[in-house]
Structure 1
């Protein structure tokens, strides 16, 4: 199996930002040392939810501090970026990282309308902005010169320089959850990542993606590569005992949710309501923590002693997961606590899956 590391580390106050940013760099370097194959950066603004905010600039720092690990975005919120500027930045990043960049793309947060307002936008046109931006970025990497006459952008571009190392450009991933999205991404040959998909649904969704790959006429080698790299995102917390892990992760999740709900109530405009289909027990403010936290523990988390987490990873492997993205930090979690959990996972869980088998729990 392939293990990625994902950061969603919050800074609780501005006076802690610099230290927290340095901590995330240290954590990413530790992920490379432990043998994680890729690190993934989130993008949020204004409240410290992703302490570095600008994931593209932060990725440049990681490119200079790492040598082997791939650097991904989960995800770039496309409406917040001018597509030509984004194409240039990603091309430069791919050069700085010597071809180690993966780009998850999305239409922007479904809950934090204040992020759109802060960029002078509203979310009702986010999907159209995203689709146009994707078209421009992909064509800008391929076409020189490029003339583009769109709804949001009218452009004349001589060429994108520097050219990306990966040709025609860094892979563009999609975050998916519905069966239709799995199938369509398969048809298009687009790499995918998904979060909080229950175990009982994974095998079915992976089969849907594979059916899309076959419908798209992709060759056997391409199908095998895309299936192997399809990524599932999970919270991961490893402690000395199962009880300790559950208690500590639950407390961290309560703190994380309190921050999340506070900033949305404080900063979202009064005319904004998230789409009902986007809400679940974790994201719905009407659901109490006593229900929300068990929901996340059950549907989106791997936690416990190393032995228990090995069993949980084996369960995912057995339903087809070959690429697991591990979020090891939650809210304003202490740096040393995060590193300790990462090391238990990297040293006592990951090696059991190096040859495709899992060691007996001990």
Structure 2
């Protein structure tokens, strides 16, 4: 089993961007101290839901601030950047950290960053597979040229060249993307918006159950389930609601709004929220039902830095040992 902490770097009400970024670094350091195996960083643009516009850049800072823990991106968005540029960053981080960097990539969404960065809807809708292939080829080559529908360049040397490429996983929210990952033998990174049954079905569709797939969860520890749910319902919608409003389609296509209170309740029903025994039982059940042995936990939902650090410490001390004992 591997256990990680998933960090959005959401901006809480009344908090500035500097404070959000600083507490994210401190949470990563706390995760290493609490015995977690890795930390995963979300990437967003132009919204308070997450104030990390470059997950590799933040990963580099955290890798320099830690000694043992691995750091991954969940995810770096391929649709709004050049895959060679991302591959160069991943190679450099892997080399500098002694192999502690992990690269999670995703298609992203039809948001306005496609307009700002000039990649456009066509790259988003049609170019993900080619972008992924180019990134993978770069990480495995010493020299590379390319001719495709979206990218074309003459052969150039790959510098820096990682002898062992960093592990790559793919965020999957549809069977089509699951197929792209499966065809390339890559593990899936599955989000917290779906439960165990949907994740088990995705693993079955993928066809390679023994790959190191990753499952994302909301996690909140309290003395009782009632206390944990009450805390999340009071605090999570305060930052979640304004954050979700930041998802603006690039072409102004209609997008239904999501009720942050209802969504918080939904997440509480799906994930390890409750006493240490409740959380341990939920995580063990996920591993048994899905076959996934790498679980990453969003631990910063309670709306304050102190609550996040306390939650990470309790998860590490009171929950993870119970899960590992059950699944040995």
* C-alpha displacement of 1:270: 6.5
Q: Distance in 2 between matches of 1:184 and 1:129?
A: 12
Equivalent residue, structure 1, for 2:43 = 43
1:129-208 residue pairs with structure 2 within 5 A? 129-166=127-164, 169-179=165-175, 181-182=177-178, 185-195=181-191, 196-208=193-205
Matched, 1:257 2:240: yes
TM-score of the superposed pair, with normalisation by structure 1:
0.81
Contact kept in structure 1, 2:76 and 2:103, CA below 8 Å: yes
TM-score of the superposed pair, with normalisation by structure 2:
0.89
Contact kept in structure 2, 1:145 and 1:156, CA below 8 Å: no
Q: Distance in 1 between matches of 2:252 and 2:218?
A: 32
Q: Would the alpha carbon gap of residues 144 and 95 (structure 1) be closer, same or farther in structure 2, given more than 3 Å must change?
A: closer
Root-mean-square deviation (CA, aligned residues, Å) is 2.6
* C-alpha displacement of 1:84: 2.3
Q: Distance in 1 between matches of 2:148 and 2:203?
A: 35
Equivalent residue, structure 1, for 2:253 = 272
Q: Distance in 2 between matches of 1:15 and 1:197?
A: 29
* C-alpha displacement of 1:184: 5.7
* C-alpha displacement of 1:78: 0.6
Q: Would the alpha carbon gap of residues 180 and 253 (structure 1) be closer, same or farther in structure 2, given more than 3 Å must change?
A: same
Contact kept in structure 1, 2:49 and 2:246, CA below 8 Å: no
Contact kept in structure 2, 1:74 and 1:104, CA below 8 Å: yes
Q: Would the alpha carbon gap of residues 199 and 352 (structure 1) be closer, same or farther in structure 2, given more than 3 Å must change?
A: same
Matched, 1:354 2:324: yes
Q: Would the alpha carbon gap of residues 29 and 157 (structure 1) be closer, same or farther in structure 2, given more than 3 Å must change?
A: farther
Contact kept in structure 2, 1:13 and 1:48, CA below 8 Å: no
Which one of 114, 123, 131 corresponds to residue 125 of structure 1?
123
Equivalent residue, structure 2, for 1:7 = 7
Q: Which runs of 5+ in 2 are unaligned?
A: none
* C-alpha displacement of 1:125: 3.1
1:197-239 residue CA offsets vs partner (Å, 9 max, x unmatched)? 3223444433443xx23xxxxxxxxx74x2xx21111111112
Q: Distance in 2 between matches of 1:310 and 1:53?
A: 33
* C-alpha displacement of 1:289: 4.5
Q: Which runs of 5+ in 1 are unaligned?
A: 214-222, 275-283
Q: Would the alpha carbon gap of residues 180 and 87 (structure 1) be closer, same or farther in structure 2, given more than 3 Å must change?
A: closer
Equivalent residue, structure 1, for 2:286 = 316
* C-alpha displacement of 1:357: 4.2
Which one of 245, 263, 266 corresponds to residue 295 of structure 1?
266
Bigger radius of gyration among the two? 1
1:301-333 residue CA offsets vs partner (Å, 9 max, x unmatched)? 3211212212212221331332111011138x2
Matched, 1:340 2:317: no
Which one of 282, 297, 301 corresponds to residue 330 of structure 1?
301
1:85-142 residue CA offsets vs partner (Å, 9 max, x unmatched)? 22211110111111122211111225xx222222234334314333232222222233
Q: Distance in 1 between matches of 2:145 and 2:288?
A: 48
Q: Would the alpha carbon gap of residues 307 and 11 (structure 1) be closer, same or farther in structure 2, given more than 3 Å must change?
A: same
Equivalent residue, structure 2, for 1:305 = 275
Contact kept in structure 2, 1:79 and 1:108, CA below 8 Å: yes
1:266-323 residue CA offsets vs partner (Å, 9 max, x unmatched)? x55563235xxxxxxxxx41x5455433222223x32112122122122213313321
Q: Would the alpha carbon gap of residues 17 and 132 (structure 1) be closer, same or farther in structure 2, given more than 3 Å must change?
A: same
Specify the SS of the correspondent of 1:147.
Answer: strand
Contact kept in structure 1, 2:54 and 2:76, CA below 8 Å: no
